[in-house]
Amino acid sequence: MTNLLWLRRDLRRHDHPALAAAADGADVVALFVLDPGLLERAGGARRAWLAATLRATAAGYEGKLVLRIGNPRAVVPAVAAEAGAVAVHVSAETTPTGRRRDAAVQRRLADTGVDWVATGSPYAVTPPRVVNKQGEGYKVFTPFSKAWLDHGWRAPAADPERLRLLELPCDPAAEQWLEQALTEGPQELPPAGEEAALDRWAEFLEDGLTDYDGGRDLLAEDATSRMSPHLKLGTVHPRTLLADLAGRTGEGAQRYRTELCWREFYADVLWRDPDSLWHDLRPELATMDYDHDEQLVQRWREGQTGFPVVDAAMRQLLATGWMHNRARMITASFLCKDLHEWWPIGARHFLDHLIDGDVASNNHGWQWAAGTGTDAAPYFRVFNPISQGQKFDPRGDYVRRWVPELRHLSGASVHTPWDAADGYAQGYPEPIVDHAAERKEALARYQAARGN
């Protein structure tokens, strides 16, 4: 008997319930489908990260990972038939797009008598299991986090006692896509794959966890775990991380659990309100007045705003496919509240480029910054891009790394080049807006929308 394991956001061998279920009493064909519909808008870093991860995953699956390119609605039933599979095993999908796709594939498989088996998910607690006493979901993080902790999660899944992987030919077009993606990607991608994820996690537990709570916001420091790209593609499961954090009571461990909980919270919110993926979660600001200045938005995308920490972050994103979480908040606030643009414009740009671009976390994080999301009263929170840079990049090292036009300025003076006689000597642009004036304008617009 043969089962087909369709890998998606679970590119690993260990702590993999769907793999264990597929291998129970059957041979296994492991498949990954490159969907052009999802890949055509992805930036170079995002495509390269997927390609590198697939290369590592293939090695972990004894070189027998089957790669095909095309619409999964057609590809998965075709490969199931080719393999003679009696069932297709997956990790359950939770996003609106993924759920619609899976429902369509499941219907096509049913027509041919092939079973659909979903086991596990990309989350420690699969949405929508966390509920209040009335059996309803949460719209605010703090009560969700308490209920999430009370609910708990299973221990990491055991590896299959027996795993016999069968091999099918890969699609030459898929192999060509991998080669091209790796060639066109940036040079600063982190090591990819399950082994690299576990090595990075072990390093962070040893050297970074203790000081995580105090140092995680410092832009120039390597003080975060960098696990988000691995969680995105499932080369490590959050349950594995939580198991390693069990019994650790320090502030760093507590803060890290909280950050993992934020990821699960946003996935739960999206499950319950699929429209929040691209529409305001809170209706109070439905009449908000937005600008539509493509020229200014493009300056933001390219890191040419004249605000050093904003530009450093946006250039880091373009160069590496990653951005520090504090920088994400700063740049999002700038687009929404200094440039008065609707948050989906920024959310789409981030998803196109971030190697850890998770739609639930990304889009609801943007709504948090914009004031349309789960936070109770964020409309008056306007990040000052100057003071944020001074506070979280106090020596200016982050800005100097990513904005070479300001490397001649020392220390924190990089954050205020307009105060230096030679601040613009290397061609750095002047600010495209007056932050103080735009802050007042943002607050006025928010007040007007709330009044309406």
Cα distances (Å, whole numbers) of residue 16 to 9, 89, 433: 11, 11, 50
387 marked among binding-site residues:
no
288 marked among binding-site residues:
no
In 330-397, beta strands by DSSP E: none
- What does the block give as tokens for 188? 């600063």
- Helices in 87-207 by DSSP H: which ranges? 96-111, 141-151, 172-184, 194-207
265 marked among binding-site residues:
yes
Angle at 277 (CA atoms; ends 238, 371), nearest 5 degrees: 95
- Helices in 246-323 by DSSP H: which ranges? 251-272, 294-302, 308-320
35 marked among binding-site residues:
no
Cβ proximity of 421 and 446 under 8 Å? no
Cβ proximity of 245 and 153 under 8 Å? no
390/395 Cα distance (integer angstroms): 8
283/347 Cα distance (integer angstroms): 19
227 marked among binding-site residues:
yes
Cβ proximity of 17 and 120 under 8 Å? yes
357 marked among binding-site residues:
yes
419 marked among binding-site residues:
no
- From its phi and psi, is residue 226 left (phi > 0), alpha (psi between -120 and 50) or beta? left
225 marked among binding-site residues:
yes
Question: Which stretch of DSSP H or E encloses residue 134?
Answer: none
Nearest to 289 by CA among 452, 82, 78, 445: 445
Q: Could you tell me which residues are beta bridge partners of residue 68?
A: 33
149/130 Cα distance (integer angstroms): 10
- What does the block give as tokens for 154? 């299973």
450 marked among binding-site residues:
no
- Helices in 221-372 by DSSP H: which ranges? 228-233, 238-245, 251-272, 294-302, 308-320, 325-333, 343-353, 359-370
Sheet containing strand 2-7, strands side by side: 66-69, 27-34, 2-7, 87-90, 115-118
264 marked among binding-site residues:
yes
Cβ proximity of 399 and 312 under 8 Å? yes
61 marked among binding-site residues:
no
Cβ proximity of 149 and 122 under 8 Å? no
336 marked among binding-site residues:
no
Q: Which residues are annotated as a binding site for FAD?
A: 212, 224-228, 256, 259-266, 356-358
Q: Which residues are annotated as a binding site?
A: 212, 224-228, 256, 259-266, 356-358
